[in-house]
Amino acid sequence: MSNTKFILGVYEDEDILLSAITKIRTAGVKIHEVYSPFPVHGIDDVLGYKRSKLSIVAFLFGLLGTSLALTMQIGMMGVDWPMIIGGKDFIPYPSFVPVIFELTVLLAAYGMCFTFFIVSDLKPWARPRIFDLRITDDKHVMAIDLDHNKIDVAKIDKILKDNGASEVNQKTFDET
């Protein structure tokens, strides 16, 4: 990617934005991404995004936590250094419940969150493309990648304006 040119439709209201996305997509324009200051309900449906699989990731990490906790406790108390404590079994399963629960939750939470950071490219040294400084304030911005659209600029401009965009801007990112 050397020069990437985007045409940006700025929206003030989330409901206008949602209906605009549907109309613009049916008009055959490919939307690169929509940027919002807050989560807009229903936006993934109109953009055609599938439900995130992060909950499955959390479940799998949770399973890992459960098995790690069991292995650790059985290994330490029952195999490596068995000791009689209060006349209990060497492997007292009821006593293992709290630690199993805590490690399950811990690994599920951290596993999911770090997966989220990785797949969304969130990291302290990230250099994000800032399409518009007002995205994190009060404006929704729809970015359309000109390299991926055969329709000419003036036409996209008109489609955006007809569907309620308050401004239409252009921005070029020089990424070499």
Partner 1 sequence: MSSESVIREPLITGGKTVHDVTEDISRRVEEKPTKLWMLAMTISLGLLAVGAYTVFLLLWHGVGMWGLNKTVGWAWDITNFVWWVGIGHAGTLISAILLLFRQRWRMSINRAAEAMTIFAVICALQFPILHTGRPWLAIYWMFPLPNTFGSLWVNFNSPLLWDVFAISTYFLVSLIFWYIGLIPDFATIRDRAKNKISKSIYGALSFGWDGAAKTWSRYETVALVLAGLATPLVLSVHTIVSMDFATSVIPGWHTTIFPPYFVAGAIFSGFAMVLTLMIVTRKVYKLEDYITIQHLEMMNIVIIITGSIVGVAYLTELFIAWYSGVEAEQYAFLNRATGPYWWAYAAMMTCNVVSPQLFWFKKIRTNIAATFVLSIVVNIGMWFERFVIIVTSLHRDFLPSSWAMFYPTFVDVGVYVFTFGLFFTCFFLFAKFFPVINMAEVKSIIKTTGEKAK
d(CA 16, CA 34): 13
For residue 15, what are the contacts with CB-CB under 8 A and spacing of at least 6?
A: none
* Under rule CB under 8 A, residue 145 binds partner 1: no
* Under rule CB under 8 A, residue 150 binds partner 1: no
Task: Pick one of 4, 23, 25, 47: the residue that binds partner 1 (CB under 8 A).
Answer: 47
Q: Which amino acid is at 65?
A: G
Whether the Cβ atoms of residue 61 and residue 111 lie closer than 8 Å to each other: yes
* Under rule CB under 8 A, residue 172 binds partner 1: no
CB 77 → partner 1: shortest distance, Å? 6
Task: Pick one of 4, 36, 166, 169: the residue that binds partner 1 (CB under 8 A).
Answer: 36
Handedness of CA 8, 37, 58, 124 (dihedral sign): positive
d(CA 80, CA 20): 65
* Under rule CB under 8 A, residue 84 binds partner 1: no
| Residue corresponding to tokens 């400084």 | 133
* Under rule CB under 8 A, residue 26 binds partner 1: no
d(CA 11, CA 168): 9
CB 154 → partner 1: shortest distance, Å? 26
* Token representation of residue 86: 């209060």
Positions in the binding site for partner 1 (CB under 8 A): 13-15, 18, 33-40, 43-44, 47, 49, 51-52, 54-55, 58, 72-73, 76-77, 80-81, 83, 85-86, 88, 92, 95-96, 98-99, 101-103, 105-106, 108-110, 112-113, 116-117, 119-131, 133-138
